[in-house]
Structure 1
């Protein structure tokens, strides 16, 4: 996340007895929007990620993009992968997150589609020292309630991605069920994931 250039923009939305609307959020400069999330209409500041966090996000994006391309060659409908991107979960009250990585159905640019929960197939959050509760509790519930089919919680060690916790949506309860945890140090072949697309977890490709 980039540093805020100044705090003059806060005068329009703070103090916040009233919530930020989708229109107000969309009117913000990009450098401001990239530094915040909106939860139930209220601004949540995003701490700047560490270099290792940023690198791990790129590595995961590249890995998923490679397998998304392979899936499309096999006939899967158009897929996109992006990192640190706006994801609209709800309009009222506004809930807008910026996941570390998202795999989603391609958007219709001509119609001006924005990335929303119904497009997302997989959301990935990389846990930072200050984001444990958000990533493992708050966002776990938000993404499930929004109907996103798959959620990964990723943890790092000094060499890169070391743990991937996988969750799959139970559509009946709108909650996630833990489907397994991959650990880099476990012996054996590289883990294979079949949903939402086939992916082989190449730990070497996820080093930072």
Structure 2
């Protein structure tokens, strides 16, 4: 199977003629790679996120980056935060996701190092209409099996981020355990957490 020349393949071919390999995926133009995920070698077309979804992802990334810079200033290893980043969970059969936000150890890009599960400390998925099952079931299992220590499921209301469900990996079972849910309307000050890095969730930073 050759690299896909354009996104018409994604829309017209039924069924997919063969599984996409890691080598073939890496040959795809960036504009096509950004529009798909690969699950067990099969292409999953990702609809363009809404403006609110994009804004929420950017706000979350900014918050995480601010706290990452703070811990790095205290001697923590180099950390990076990105939106919609290519994350390789498995090579065979290919499993490649693009989480809405990821916090991960810095990569050696000069050596062509790609973001893999072992680099990631936290991945965040923002639930959209149509993504409930993927975000709360499919990706929950995939990220856990890949060994990513922390997973957040984020929900929005009309003003911004309203709920953050937090999961931590239980390495004995390689499953996520729910460790808490932050809700914007709960009384009290901004909640704080210690892992994966110390941070305070300031809801005012997460408004549209």
TM-score (norm 2): 0.94
Give 5+ residue unaligned stretches, structure 2.
Answer: none
Distance 1:15 1:184 in 2: 43
The root-mean-square deviation of aligned C-alpha atoms, in Å, is 1.7
Distance 1:141 1:49 in 2: 23
Distance 1:47 1:106 in 2: 29
- Secondary structure at 2:104 match in 1: strand
For each residue in 1:142-161, what CA deviation from the matched residue of structure 2 results, as whole angstroms up to 9, or x when unmatched?
A: 00000000000000000000
Alignment of 1:1-208 (within 5 A): 6-8=7-9, 15-208=15-208
For each residue in 1:116-160, what CA deviation from the matched residue of structure 2 results, as whole angstroms up to 9, or x when unmatched?
A: 000000000000011000000000000000000000000000000
How many residue pairs get matched? 204
For each residue in 1:13-57, what CA deviation from the matched residue of structure 2 results, as whole angstroms up to 9, or x when unmatched?
A: 864242100111111111100000000000000011010000000
TM-score (norm 1): 0.94
- Secondary structure at 1:139 match in 2: helix
Runs of 4+ in 1 over 6 A off after TM superposition: none
The structure-2 alpha-carbon separation of the partners of 1:96 and 1:70, relative to structure 1 and needing over 3 Å to count, comes to same
Distance 1:86 1:6 in 2: 18
